Structure 1
Amino acid sequence: MARVLPSMKDPPPGRRFGRIIYLDCSMWESKRAMQRKLAEELKLDRKTMAMFEEQDEEDDFYGADRASRGVIRNVAAVIDQTLRGSRFMVIFINGSDDEIVLGPFGVSDYHDHVVIWTFTSRTYAEKIRHTKIRLDSWWSLSHLTSPELSALLHEEAATLACLRGIDPTMALDCLFYRSFLKESRDITYQFIVREHDPSSIWICDGFIQGDRAREISKALEIDDDRYLQAEYIINDLSENIRTPYLIVQDADELLDAYEKRPYRWIAIKLKNNITSKNKKVQEDLQTTLAGASSIILGSGCSDESPHVLLPNDLFKQCNNLCMLILSRCSLSFVSPPFSQCHTLRYLGLDHCTDDGTSSQLEGEEDHITKWACLYSLLVLDLYYTEWGEILSEEKIELMANLAELNIEGVWCWQWICQLEKRLPYLQRLRIIKPPVRLAQTSPTDIISNSLIDKTELEVLDLSSNIDMENLPTSLSKASKLQELILDGCVGLEKVVLANPSLKSFSFDCSKHHVDDADKKYVKISKISLEGCTQLEKLILCGLPNLVELYLSRCPIKILDLKPW
């Protein structure tokens, strides 16, 4: 409409619009961002536009949430002056969840203007208070046929692709994969998917590829409104048409309840051990899993869920397997069922245990042949899974391409020393919440020796390592380190870091990261980040003994200093 109206034949003078202002805020950010778009449409002067930068800089410093940032009064006054005396139309695509009144933005009611706007909130009726004429377009997905649903989903994907500048097929895969992960939430703990960079899983599965893979993944990750709309469509679509994924709440149902065809992504809740005693279920399960690129198996996400025994040959037919998550499973740590999956890029083990057959299988095969799964591995997640041997020297040597290592709830420092002069492409390292244990070697010494040669390291998270007393100064030499997280490290006494690449630093010992009983152990008294010339985000919360803070030459934009 905004493009067509200016090219139409001139109407009578009384109906003519001097301006047509088009505001596309379908990707809603904040009222501040909307006002900036309005100012850009009106081509306001540089002095006025600079007010946005100045106010944003101030809000960044005080840690104001971007979504809550409102309009700037001085800018509104300039907009009001610019529009005064003209007749204009505003075409506004509202991506927020509420009616937006334009008066505070500088578009006063006394101006001679018309506003045409639209939004997709499902509760719009109760929120519209200032709009004079309303046209409702309501429809139910249940009334659409399968081809219509499919066409609608492709349209959503095309819109997402257009907004983000990506391939529509890739966008459609992303919509389906997000739905797949969400529907599998009852099968595995969701933090194994949520706690690290989600784009890693998408890249590992392979439907996002190329030099822009991580950039595209980041762009797709933030478009929650678009996913929410697509989710309703996919839920109805899955009942009427083939989706690329399969979610099963009981493996015993596989044979009769689900169509036998290839599935790209599969999540199955196991209620019984998969052994030779139920051979039919085992064979059926192997056949179903054979062509999948992503597999999630687990007995549930409750602490009461039993561990399910997996046979060593469960994945022997999985020649395309790229992403595997096992939750509350019991398997052989000497010869795991995925050891021959040479295409594996992502391996997540959550609350898994050794099945006790390790001693019987020792030395059966050549080491390199038996661990073919490690060659292509990009991401390894160990959550509350005591399998330190996977980080042994001989196995680390095989993980030459590993880019991300996440370990939670496991004492692993005796193995971390194996990282020295290995894993040259490691970009993200998370070692968090290890159990309290008296150690002969300080974690500080191990970190210093193991990370000094990690030239590609971008993110280091050592949250809740309460035994660590000092942060090694060798981290200043990590030339690509951008984010350092020390939340809950109550034993640290001082931090001295001068890393010119660091952009984000977090040391949060508030109630979100430290139990009330442990607050009295927070020791940190000195933090020096002098020389961190790119540091933009600084979070220092719950540090009652901090008396020295040095931030010279730090261009901080976001600062959070909450006491608790």
Structure 2
Amino acid sequence: MEKMSAVDVKTAVQQIVPYLEDTSNDAPLVIYFDGWLGLSASAVLRAIAEQPPPSLREKFDRIIHIGCSMWKSRRALQRVIANELKLTQQLAADFDRQDEEDDFSGVDHGSRAEIRDITGVIGRYLVQYRCLVIFHNGSSNTVDLASFGIPMLEFLGTKVLWTFRGWLRLNREIREKVENSHLYFYAVDYHHKEWNAYLAEDAREIALHMHKLGLGVTPKIATECCLYLLLLNNQGKKMIDYNWATHASCYWVCDGIIGGGPDNQTWEVAHALQQHIRLEDYSSNAELMESVERLELSSKQWISITESYFKEVPPEATTLFYGSKNFSSPPFHCCHNLRFLGLDRCMDGLQHGEEEEEKKGEPAVEIFQRLWVLDVCHMDWPLAFPPETEEQVVATDIREVHITNGRIWTSNLAWRRLPNLHKLQVVEPTNLWETERRDEFMAMVNLELLDLSGNSTIQVLPSLSGATSLKTLILDGCVGLEHVGPQQLPPSLESFSLNTAGEDEDLKKKNVEISYISLAGCVRLANFILRGSLPNLEELDLSHTAIKILDLGAVVEVKNLQRLFLMGCGQLRSISWPKTKMYKLRLLCIDTRARGEVDNRKPAWSRDCSLMVYQQDEVNEYCHASVAAADMRFLQSLPFLWTWAPIRCDRWNLCLSSTSDDDGSGCHKEKMGSHYSTGQLAAVLSLPKSLTYHDISIEQISAKIDMSSSSSSAQFLPLDLHMDIGEGISDVTDKSSTRARKAIRSVMDSVQSLHVHDSSSITSVAPEHTFGTNIPIMNGLKWCCVERCPKLDTVFTTTYYYLSCLSQMEIFWAAHLLMARSIWSRPRNPTLDASDLSFTQLQAIHLHFCPRLRYVLPMASNNTLSKVPDTLHIHCCGDLKQVFLVEQEFLEKIAARHEKGMLGFPNLKSLYLYDLISLQQICEAKMFAPKLETILY
């Protein structure tokens, strides 16, 4: 560590710059500056970055200023670097693509790492320059800037000046994380004359940032707010919990530091400022606290009473903390300007005379009409509220009430009598919550936060439908609740928390009764927290919410969960499931496609191509799952589609489509048959020259075609494991995560029936970069229908290289594939192992209106492909030259070894070929089909 005697920002800059300009061999490449007791470091770095001396500009080609005092993630840091280098537009697509991948992988924003490709772009851009990097590090660890693309090679001459400090980050421990290889500077002011100025510089940094956000906080206001926090921290001496996270913004408004009084905008500005100041226990910094004391600051408006002999409170006081044990005669009756009242453990007087206090007590109206914020901790203060018939409204100005391990009512208070309440916390109350009055929050249109944590005896949640501004609902430890929602909850709700895994030993012994949780229709709900043991929970419904990443991984036990609904969740990208088994789950319904209208009624499930039948059948003990998603990458959140962990799902129906109107019903006869009805075929087949066999009439042919269509469409009902890929679904690229591609492959390997239709961008049902070249492909698939996919080139990019592919396929149907050149790709090795089982169950092939199709199925040495098919139905495929393409090696074997040099098709019964103007032959080899009954050509 090296000490500098600078007294202000200007002199600190003058003393640091020579070290940055030093190019000698032993000159430090990385310099850390800690400021004055942690203050003003950020301001010094900003001064060097924004107004560097000419000598510094001559030494460096680029001065890169990286401001991350408000740390978000390594990904966010890389964005800041790209923006500073004016590369944002060039790299925006890469950032957005990786963010989207991380959404589907369930990576929370704080854990998102830098992107390797972008690191390369930044590195290649900067390697041509000699750079000075000035870095405000708001994280809790040192950062290797080389991993973000900053070239740190010694011969390139890059230097780094950085700090952990900024925005009132004053804890001493953070400086211990600076690496020994870095040159460490800190400044001292022996006389402490400029200490207030150092604080003002930090506050100015905060004010500048808030100005960019459009929030009107001046450097003077920010300085006073920071000084206020330090003053409270110094005077409190750890005797009172000031609860910075909850009350910091309240202190500033109530004491007039941020003016505007009860105006909503004033409180919003104060809250925003609180988010940008490090709320720490500054008392650990002894030198800092000594400096605060030397300022000889005092406030007649802010009073803290921690001794019983302190009797008088100035009338002008606006904030009072009362921690005296003697509360028999509270000293704040005369404080008519009192705005914030904090009471902590004031119990002695009440314990001896509570009955008398209740009789004569202080009128609640008088107390509440003065206050904007009331905070009561670890004490009972039974106020005598007048009956509602006498006075409906108690107070109109009070905005926040916080009660922890205490109470303020003699009987249950109807909170609607405080109509301006924005925040209400009743945590671990000492009096039971009476649930008979379920309308107590009626018309509380300003209430934004309701925290009922620790109310372990509450059984019924009061109706909150009238609290139309409610954003946050916290029910942690409310283990006695029987159910939650949806009728009681307003659509404005944005955050919900229910955590039954409290640290309280008494709470752990209580049974968690809740059996039903529904937040359906809370269209703004984005933050949902469910933790702990919920052994009696039977149904969870989060339909029509804005949840993006649903994390149920902290749920310890849900052994009785039977129904889970996530319908109409258009923002949902990822689900993390409980680690314990959910053996009783019987119905799982997920739909991540955007829907226009919210309907909380449960749909009447029907068995079609996208929705599974659900009947509570006591005999069939398995789970039905119906899942609709707008992106194939969502499949990585559904491990139950291919494993039994954590859900055993024996029947599932998966619909992948960007539109909620698509239910997959395109595979039914009425849709599939519309392009080639019996009447149309009879009309076009009226020419005698199209008949190969004259003993079969047109009517007979038409009837057989119609019967074939009917039979096929009847078979195209979803099997137990069904998948539908529809409109708006694109190929998963090779840039998608390995986890996403593995999930897609696993699901498609499990599927039994598949319908692909109306996708304008998909190029292959089974692309090679997803399925690889050395693994089996879709061996569970029994029937497949592919139609109206104009960019589809090869339907199945199979390799079947010593591995079976589509070994269970029985029926294949394709229609209106305008660009498809083949259905199955040719094998990589034409001399396949005779034990290969690919396509050995294929009975029927139906192809209609595929004008570019050149061949259907390649045949290699495994001649079992010809033994199974009984129906070939091919219509309007203008470029088709051969149905079965026979590899040359196999063609030679047939001629030399097969009976009469012919390839046998022992089960082929029906052959319908029409409007195939380029067809040269069905098979390059000579065919023998002893059971052939019908031919149309």
Question: Deviations 1:200-227 (Å, cap 9, x if unpaired)?
Answer: 2221122112354323323432345597
Separation of aligned partners in 2, 1:296 and 1:2: 43
Q: Could you tell me which of 478, 482, 491 is aligned with 1:489?
A: 478
Q: Which residue of 2 aligns with 1:252?
A: none
Tell me if 1:158 matches 2:204: yes
Q: Which residue of 2 aligns with 1:384?
A: 378
Is contact 1:391-1:418 (8 Å) kept? Answer: no
Q: Could you tell me which of 175, 178, 188 is aligned with 2:229?
A: 178
Q: Which residue of 2 aligns with 1:270?
A: none
Task: Indicate the SS of the match to 2:226.
Answer: helix
Separation of aligned partners in 2, 1:139 and 1:494: 59
Q: Which residue of 1 aligns with 2:815?
A: none
Q: Aligned in 2, Cα 1:22/1:384: closer, same or farther, shift over 3 Å?
A: closer
Q: Which residue of 1 aligns with 2:777?
A: none
Task: Indicate the SS of the match to 1:196.
Answer: helix
Whichever residue aligns with residue 458 of structure 2, its letter is M
Separation of aligned partners in 2, 1:23 and 1:114: 15
Q: Could you tell me which of 324, 334, 338 is aligned with 1:340?
A: 334
Tell me if 1:471 matches 2:453: no
Whichever residue aligns with residue 320 of structure 2, its letter is L
Q: 1:195 Cα deviation (Å)?
A: 6.8
Is contact 1:21-1:88 (8 Å) kept? Answer: no
Question: Deviations 1:424-476 (Å, cap 9, x if unpaired)?
Answer: 21111111212475xxxx63333x2210111100000111111111223x313
Tell me if 1:403 matches 2:432: no
For 1:395-434, what aligned pairs fall within 5 Å after superposition? 397-410=393-406, 415-420=411-416, 422-434=417-429
Q: Aligned in 2, Cα 1:466/1:511: closer, same or farther, shift over 3 Å?
A: closer
Separation of aligned partners in 2, 1:524 and 1:371: 37
151-160 or 200-209, which moves further after superposition?
A: 151-160
Q: Which residue of 2 aligns with 1:93?
A: 135
Q: Which residue of 1 aligns with 2:699?
A: none
Tell me if 1:563 matches 2:614: no
Tell me if 1:209 matches 2:253: no
Tell me if 1:222 matches 2:275: yes
Q: 1:340 Cα deviation (Å)?
A: 2.2
Question: Deviations 1:30-61 (Å, cap 9, x if unpaired)?
Answer: 322211101222323331231464266458x5
Is contact 1:156-1:226 (8 Å) kept? Answer: no
Separation of aligned partners in 2, 1:563 and 1:32: 29
Whichever residue aligns with residue 95 of structure 1, its letter is N
Q: 1:345 Cα deviation (Å)?
A: 0.7
Separation of aligned partners in 1, 2:452 and 2:514: 15
Q: Aligned in 2, Cα 1:532/1:168: closer, same or farther, shift over 3 Å?
A: same
Q: Aligned in 2, Cα 1:460/1:241: closer, same or farther, shift over 3 Å?
A: closer
Q: Aligned in 2, Cα 1:557/1:413: closer, same or farther, shift over 3 Å?
A: farther
Q: Could you tell me which of 521, 529, 539 is aligned with 1:548?
A: 539
Q: Which residue of 1 aligns with 2:343?
A: 349
Q: Could you tell me which of 458, 467, 492 is aligned with 2:448?
A: 458
Is contact 1:416-1:450 (8 Å) kept? Answer: no
Question: Deviations 1:322-354 (Å, cap 9, x if unpaired)?
Answer: 11121143234xx64212211011112222233
Question: Deviations 1:483-517 (Å, cap 9, x if unpaired)?
Answer: 000000111121113522111100001134x5376
Separation of aligned partners in 1, 2:294 and 2:239: 27
Q: Aligned in 2, Cα 1:395/1:381: closer, same or farther, shift over 3 Å?
A: farther
Q: Aligned in 2, Cα 1:120/1:229: closer, same or farther, shift over 3 Å?
A: farther
Separation of aligned partners in 1, 2:52 and 2:195: 32
Separation of aligned partners in 2, 1:162 and 1:120: 18
Is contact 1:538-1:556 (8 Å) kept? Answer: yes
Q: Aligned in 2, Cα 1:485/1:361: closer, same or farther, shift over 3 Å?
A: closer
Question: Deviations 1:157-180 (Å, cap 9, x if unpaired)?
Answer: 333333333222222221222123
Q: Aligned in 2, Cα 1:57/1:320: closer, same or farther, shift over 3 Å?
A: farther
Is contact 1:392-1:415 (8 Å) kept? Answer: no
User: Number of residue pairs matched?
Assistant: 480
Whichever residue aligns with residue 157 of structure 1, its letter is A
165-174 or 450-459, which moves further after superposition?
A: 165-174
Q: Could you tell me which of 175, 193, 198 is aligned with 2:248?
A: 198
Q: 1:389 Cα deviation (Å)?
A: 1.7
Q: 1:554 Cα deviation (Å)?
A: 1.5
For 1:51-66, what aligned pairs fall within 5 Å after superposition? 51=97, 53-54=99-100, 57=103, 61=106, 64=108, 66=110
Q: 1:72 Cα deviation (Å)?
A: 2.7
Q: 1:360 Cα deviation (Å)?
A: 9.2
Q: Percent identity?
A: 30
341-350 or 150-159, which moves further after superposition?
A: 150-159
**Greater relative CO, 1 or 2 (CA 8 Å, sep 6+):** 1
Q: Could you tell me which of 504, 516, 533 is aligned with 1:526?
A: 516
Q: Which residue of 2 aligns with 1:480?
A: 469
Task: Indicate the SS of the match to 2:444.
Answer: coil
Question: Deviations 1:533-558 (Å, cap 9, x if unpaired)?
Answer: 11111110013323321111212145
Task: Indicate the SS of the match to 1:171.
Answer: helix
Gaps of 5+ in 2: 1-47, 166-171, 212-216, 557-937
TM score, norm. by length of structure 1: 0.74
Separation of aligned partners in 2, 1:467 and 1:225: 37
Q: Which residue of 2 aligns with 1:104?
A: 147
Q: Aligned in 2, Cα 1:519/1:509: closer, same or farther, shift over 3 Å?
A: farther
Separation of aligned partners in 1, 2:501 and 2:358: 47
Larger Rg: 2
Q: Which residue of 2 aligns with 1:119?
A: 163
Task: Indicate the SS of the match to 1:235.
Answer: helix
Whichever residue aligns with residue 339 of structure 1, its letter is H
Question: Deviations 1:109-130 (Å, cap 9, x if unpaired)?
Answer: 5695623322157675873366
Whichever residue aligns with residue 106 of structure 1, its letter is G
Gaps of 5+ in 1: 245-263, 265-291, 300-307
Q: Aligned in 2, Cα 1:549/1:6: closer, same or farther, shift over 3 Å?
A: farther
- Report the RMSD for the aligned CA atoms in angstroms: 3.8
Is contact 2:358-2:410 (8 Å) kept? Answer: no
Is contact 2:206-2:277 (8 Å) kept? Answer: no
Q: 1:482 Cα deviation (Å)?
A: 0.2
Separation of aligned partners in 2, 1:183 and 1:73: 46
Is contact 1:491-1:523 (8 Å) kept? Answer: yes
Question: Deviations 1:242-282 (Å, cap 9, x if unpaired)?
Answer: 223xxxxxxxxxxxxxxxxxxx1xxxxxxxxxxxxxxxxxx
Q: Which residue of 2 aligns with 1:35?
A: 78
Whichever residue aligns with residue 232 of structure 2, its letter is L
TM score, norm. by length of structure 2: 0.46
Q: Aligned in 2, Cα 1:99/1:400: closer, same or farther, shift over 3 Å?
A: closer
Task: Indicate the SS of the match to 2:200.
Answer: helix
Q: Which residue of 1 aligns with 2:64?
A: 21
Is contact 2:383-2:408 (8 Å) kept? Answer: no
Q: Aligned in 2, Cα 1:493/1:140: closer, same or farther, shift over 3 Å?
A: same
Separation of aligned partners in 2, 1:83 and 1:184: 50
Separation of aligned partners in 2, 1:102 and 1:407: 46
Separation of aligned partners in 2, 1:9 and 1:161: 28
Q: Aligned in 2, Cα 1:391/1:172: closer, same or farther, shift over 3 Å?
A: farther
Q: Which residue of 2 aligns with 1:294?
A: 302
Whichever residue aligns with residue 201 of structure 2, its letter is E
Is contact 1:384-1:408 (8 Å) kept? Answer: yes
Is contact 2:456-2:480 (8 Å) kept? Answer: yes
